[in-house]
Chains A and B, each alone.
With several copies, the nearest count.
Chain A
């Protein structure tokens, strides 16, 4: 091929790069290794984590059974080695799947439109608030303190340059958003009121009440959902104006925090303000139904600095996992799954109480709850790790006001014996 280009060395193709830019030595990286060696290296790395542990961590990343056909399906090259469906005629698979995805998200959330996905729940919250600002022409954000702390951090980081004023509304002793505080915080300058349910403590919030407060001031309610499985049982956030949801719980591996997928769902009237990709129905020249990327005049590749968001690559394959998961569990299965999660956590909470531990926040909850430890987690952790147990998340960093509080999550993956064991161990140590 070099010959056909009339070159005697590939170096010539780099000659126009100025001399001082060129790297004059090999990269200081070992030479190529074999597949077997690479696998062995990663296996060792995996062993240096916590394989085989029973974990009660949740806090925005939830362990659920992943049907085996899920990975098998997404591993088809036609799914995972394709890119954004710019050419609909040879991307109908991806496009139809996204259309179905958008529909299922609408069905779950009670909203009218949903986009093809955002990076994750935390950035979805940001995008939702920015969208609310576009829609309302305001910039104030009121966020419940019971929203995932890392989501709030992201919101704060990414709104700082545009100086969106952010106010926080606290929570009551029953673990729910303090509606009075919220009411006080929402003003005529407020664009978005962001509330999470189940909230970070696992407690279930009242969408209608929050919506009423937001709407009374002309603000939009942004419903944050960090655990999509909850929607199998909890009422749809139909009262919200925008839903910002994390989908990890729908079959996406916990995988040290990513890749996950977020979505934004909203009302039809706000459609033109939605961030991210949208797939719509179309007809081909023979009149057949097909699907295309649509309304892209909202997006960066057309609208550039006036786009509704800068997002380009999203998390399509994770959204596909979520679709397969939703289709697999389906109408009944999702309810049963949610019911199992609810029941496991209820059982564990009561086991903890029986074992003499204080469970904070009496309001109804989904699959997480907060328990107060007698001593800081740091002091008892080693003992629990010996037993191959990760008991949950210490709330010290994010909610120092709660003392030695531990956020515990129990999903369908933990058999009763595991729940009993945790309660027993926590009361011992």
Chain B
């Protein structure tokens, strides 16, 4: 074990070293009575009384400003971000988050603007929303858009509600939504919340929609097919035209989960291949930072028929706010959505421009295919179908030695890389879902490839080395099962 810790745990010649980091206890444990990290101006009006004020907030932290800075600095050093290195989390599009996007978002007059200030004093903000909307419409080929949804999943919900209203307007009430088995979990969860029954649609051996199943399942009771394209296997649904036609013929609508739009920008537009409604993830395709799990933004773009139902307020062509929309589904979120993501996404689009956006798409697809080519054979490729912006392998070969995708992921950490997405999509048993994005450079991709090859070799020759990983981290593999069995979800003072 000592040997493993010492040598094998730090594979030579890789990205990874081990270095000193600071331990840091919980805020409550480093707290000491009477400290505070901030000073307010002296109160310049009489102190008002409040009869029923609370006595105290027991055990709430008490730290100096420096202690706060150190605490959150130290914690950050245990994290890994895009700024740290390649972050090939499939389906998440972990691309570079340019600093200028952060900068413009914080400009005075934007970062501190109030959502309810009069329109006459919000011209700049509305112009930003209008221009972003226009660009997104041009990119998707759709007719109208709402920026309101807070993330992809909320975009899905908004989209499905639009479908429901549009069908209702046709006098058509349907009870089901069809979802491929490769879909992201938010798709079925959304459909259920929107009051639909979810029906599973099986993939064919190519990893795409099985047309005969679709033909069978696409009945008059199906409101929509929720399709991801390229799908979560990174495969473009080549039958998209027939799919769309079939759905439309049967009176349904085609919802596109646009999480993978980064494979298409500048090369193909959902509006041109039959999509009725779709969401975008600004935090994926348009580089707004992932922030450790958000915020994101999930604009929903629609074809003309669905436009009357968009959430209020609707941004008009003249960049004013229209609340008078009798057919609207209503609001899906207070105010206008995650405005700070709009500024970032718009800055991203401006910086890239039409040329750069297309190049970005091409680089993302090229990188994924490069990784695919270099890892084929070392890992099992479940589908021979061409890949777009991401590639999904399975751990079939490694599983024979008792090494699974989750183990390989942990071992990748020892090589200095953030793992790929583990065990998704569910249609592939033991999936390794790899999305390099356009941001990965050649040198680091080669190192990443070499690492995964080396791990494949380790899985054969020293499987317990892989299943015991990671070794290089401050905290070793955590027992998630025990954690869930007796959940401890908050700190409590020792009594």
Contact = CB atoms under 8 A, between A and B. Distances in A.
Contacts, number: 680
Contacts of B121: 49-50, 53, 385, 390
A27 B354 CA distance: 5
Nearest to B147: A258
A155 to B, nearest CB: 9
B294 A315 contact: yes
A324 B68 CA distance: 7
A12 to B, nearest CB: 9
A5 B26 contact: no
Interface string A283-314: 11110101110111101111111110111111
Given A23-B268, A104-B27, A294-B489, 16 more contacts: A38-B104, A39-B104, A49-B124, A69-B69, A79-B291, A86-B89, A88-B478, A122-B331, A233-B54, A235-B52, A280-B483, A291-B478, A317-B289, A318-B294, A332-B34, A343-B48
Nearest to A316: B293
Nearest to B39: A34
Given A1-B370, A161-B161, A318-B295, A279 B186 contact: no
Given A16-B236, A72-B99, A309 B189 contact: yes
A306 to B, nearest CB: 7
A234 interface: yes
Contact of B107 (A43, A88, A364): A43
B336 A347 contact: no
B405 interface: no
Contact of A1 (B65, B124, B186, B366): B366
A99 B408 CA distance: 27
Interface in B54-76: 54, 56-63, 65, 68-69, 71-73, 75-76
A172 B364 CA distance: 58
Interface string A341-371: 0111111000000000000000010000000
Contacts of A415: 41, 44
A294 B487 CA distance: 8
A317 B291 contact: yes
A47 interface: yes
19 contacts: A30-B350, A43-B107, A50-B121, A72-B99, A82-B290, A88-B475, A92-B78, A104-B60, A160-B329, A233-B54, A256-B113, A282-B482, A283-B479, A294-B489, A300-B188, A315-B150, A327-B71, A343-B45, A343-B48
Nearest to B312: A153
Interface in A34-68: 34-39, 41-53, 55, 57, 59-61, 63, 65, 67-68
Given A254-B114, A257-B337, A286 B476 contact: yes
Contact of A91 (B52, B79, B122): B79
A55 B114 contact: yes
Contacts of B365: 10, 13-14
Contacts of B468: 285
Contacts of B48: 339, 342-343, 345-347
A323 to B, nearest CB: 8
B370 A69 contact: no
Interface stretch (A113-121, A188-196, A215-223): A113-121
Contacts of B164: 161
A152 to B, nearest CB: 9
Given A45-B125, A77-B73, A255-B112, A100 B334 contact: no
Interface stretch (B80-88, B391-399, B454-462): B80-88
Given A80-B97, A83-B87, A93 B268 contact: no
Interface string A96-130: 11011011101110001110110111110000001
A78 B154 contact: no
Contact of B79 (A94, A279, A314): A94
Contact of B340 (A23, A52, A258, A342): A258
B404 interface: no
Interface range, B side: 35 or more
Given A35-B351, A300-B188, A333-B38, A313 B294 contact: yes
Contact of B127 (A26, A27, A48, A290): A48
Given A68-B102, A292-B483, A108 B292 contact: no
Contact of A46 (B102, B107, B491): B107
A4 interface: yes
A381 interface: yes
B339 A285 contact: no
A39 B107 CA distance: 9
A227 to B, nearest CB: 13
Contacts of A2: 366
A148 interface: yes
Contact of B78 (A37, A90, A100, A314): A90
A50 B122 contact: yes
B211 to A, nearest CB: 14
B103 A68 contact: yes
Contacts of B413: 87, 89-90
B272 to A, nearest CB: 6
Given A162-B195, A313-B296, A148 B76 contact: no
Residue among A30, A44, A283, A311 with most chain B CB within 10 A: A311
Contact of B477 (A4, A67, A82, A284): A284
A53 to B, nearest CB: 7
Interface in B288-324: 289-297, 311, 323
Residue among B127, B141, B185 with most chain A CB within 10 A: B185
Interface in B145-188: 150-154, 156-157, 161, 164, 184-186, 188
B295 A317 contact: yes
Contact of A31 (B34, B117, B152, B353): B353
Contact of B109 (A46, A78, A156, A419): A46
Residue among B118, B296, B330, B352 with most chain A CB within 10 A: B118
B27 A100 contact: yes
B117 A69 contact: no
A73 B69 contact: yes
Contact of A294 (B105, B113, B194, B484): B484
A69 B124 contact: no
Interface string B417-457: 01101101000000000000000001000000000000000
Given A157-B329, A258-B337, A280-B488, A16 B386 contact: yes
Given A42-B104, A342-B48, A310 B83 contact: no
A97 B28 contact: no
Contacts of B44: 415-416
A426 to B, nearest CB: 16
A87 B418 contact: yes
Given A78-B79, A81-B290, A107-B59, A151 B334 contact: yes
Nearest to A277: B293
A427 interface: no
Contacts of A14: 267-268, 362, 365
